[in-house]
Structure 1
Amino acid sequence: MVLRVAALQDLFELKEAARKRGLSTALIQDAGLTEVPPGTVTVLGIGPAEASELDRITGHLKLL
C-alpha cells in the first residue's frame, strides 16, 4: 500500500510512532538517478505488522 504525506517531517513522525510501538521501519533515500536529487528521502517502510496495528499509525493518510 502506498500512502501520501504532506511533508518530510510527517515521515519522520510516522517513523517515530512506529518505533514507539516496536515496529520495524526503513527510510529509503533515492540514488538520484531520475528526477530527484541524490539522498532525497522518498519512502518510509513500516512492518511487517498486523493491518490493525499499521492502521493505528497510518489510518489518517490518503492513498497516493
Structure 2
Amino acid sequence: MRVTVDVVGEGTHEVEVGEGGTYADLLEPLEYSRHEVSIVVDGQPVPEDQPVEVDRVRVLRLVQGG
C-alpha cells in the first residue's frame, strides 16, 4: 500500500507499507523518531502501533532544533 505522508512544514513523501504495516512503519524511511512526531488522520492523532487504514496521513513534528 502506498501512503502519502505530509510532514507539516517540510514536504510530502510517498511511503510504501506492507500488509499489516503500522503508522510507525511510515516513519522509518523518513528517519523520524516516534518520540518527536504525532501522526494525524482526519484531524485526530492515531496510535503508532495501529495498522495503516488510510492512504494519506499528516505528521506533526513535536520537537524542532533551533
Which structure features the higher share of strand residues? 2
TM, length-normalised to structure 2: 0.28
Larger radius of gyration: 1
The structure where helix makes up a greater share of residues is: 1
TM-score between the two structures when normalised by the length of structure 1: 0.29
